[in-house]
Amino acid sequence: MLISNKYGFLFVHIAKTGGTSIRTALTPLMRRDPARWLQSVCSRISGLTGHRLGVKFPRHAKVIAAREMLPGDYFRGLFKFAFVRNPWDLQVSSYHHVQRERPHLVRHLSGFEDFVHWKLEGERPYHYIVDASTEPQVYSLVDLKGHFLVDYIGYYERLSENFREACDRIGLPGNIRLPHRRRAAKRTDYRTYYSDAAAEFVARHYAPDIEAFGYTFG
């Protein structure tokens, strides 16, 4: 999650939705924010004392955490945005990411479908890289009653276009560009990874995303 006091935005970073590219694009703006240094000091104090101050949030924190910890008027005044991704495609991205970054975690698995079941229903130790994308994405964007707390939801499938729209809504400079998105070298169309049973398994697990964002397997 990124918060800019100077530019008045809050970016909810859902895993595997292009968020790293967005953070990279916005980092120069964050460096120009006078509140950045105060946030850093308060964050350090928070870590040393154990008192949780709402000045810096974990990378993949849910928007409800910001609403609970920030002053109400301040939270409501922020332009809150996030990006989501087709849940079937997201699992393929997750598979290649874990293979690349933490291969020792998946050496015992026989392939993609085994990975999906191991990730989403298997009894295994918690691991941040694996578990950052196990919940439906919509849960990061709503309150306890299911009401959306963000002002804009972009789609990974239209990342550049929707990012520009979000920047325009915030009023950011027009010269901000997303860096090149990293893509697994050997990736093919996500649909080729699935049997009918595996596609249905992911559909059941991510049914809230499919309903909220209109995604289909095709």
How large a percentage of the chain has pLDDT more than 90? 74
Q: Report helix, strand and coil shares of the chain as percent, to nearest 5.
A: 50, 10, 40
What average pLDDT does the chain have? Answer: 89
Q: How would residue 48 be classed by pLDDT, with cut points 50, 70 and 90?
A: low
pLDDT of amino acid 177: 87
Largest CA distance in the chain: 52
* Bridging pattern class, strands 9-12 and 2-4: antiparallel
pLDDT of amino acid 35: 62
Q: How far is it, in rounded angstroms, from Cα 27 to Cα 4?
A: 10
Q: How would residue 31 be classed by pLDDT, with cut points 50, 70 and 90?
A: confident
Q: How far is it, in rounded angstroms, from Cα 81 to Cα 165?
A: 11
* pLDDT of 107 strictly over 60: yes
Q: How would residue 47 be classed by pLDDT, with cut points 50, 70 and 90?
A: low
* pLDDT of 51 strictly over 80: no
pLDDT digits (tens, 9 = 90+) for 52-105: 555 568 889 999 999 998 999 999 999 999 999 999 999 999 999 999 999 999
Q: How far is it, in rounded angstroms, from Cα 216 to Cα 206?
A: 11
* pLDDT of 3 strictly over 80: yes
* pLDDT of 45 strictly over 90: no
Residue 136 burial (CB count, 10 A): 19
User: DSSP character for 82?
Assistant: E
Helix and strand tally (H, E) in the chain? 10, 4
Q: How far is it, in rounded angstroms, from Cα 111 to Cα 215?
A: 25
Q: How far is it, in rounded angstroms, from Cα 216 to Cα 86?
A: 8
pLDDT digits (tens, 9 = 90+) for 113-160: 999 999 999 789 999 999 999 999 999 999 999 999 999 999 999 999
Domain spans, the chain = 2-213
How large a percentage of the chain has pLDDT more than 70? 85
pLDDT of amino acid 196: 97
Q: What pTM did the predictor assign?
A: 0.88
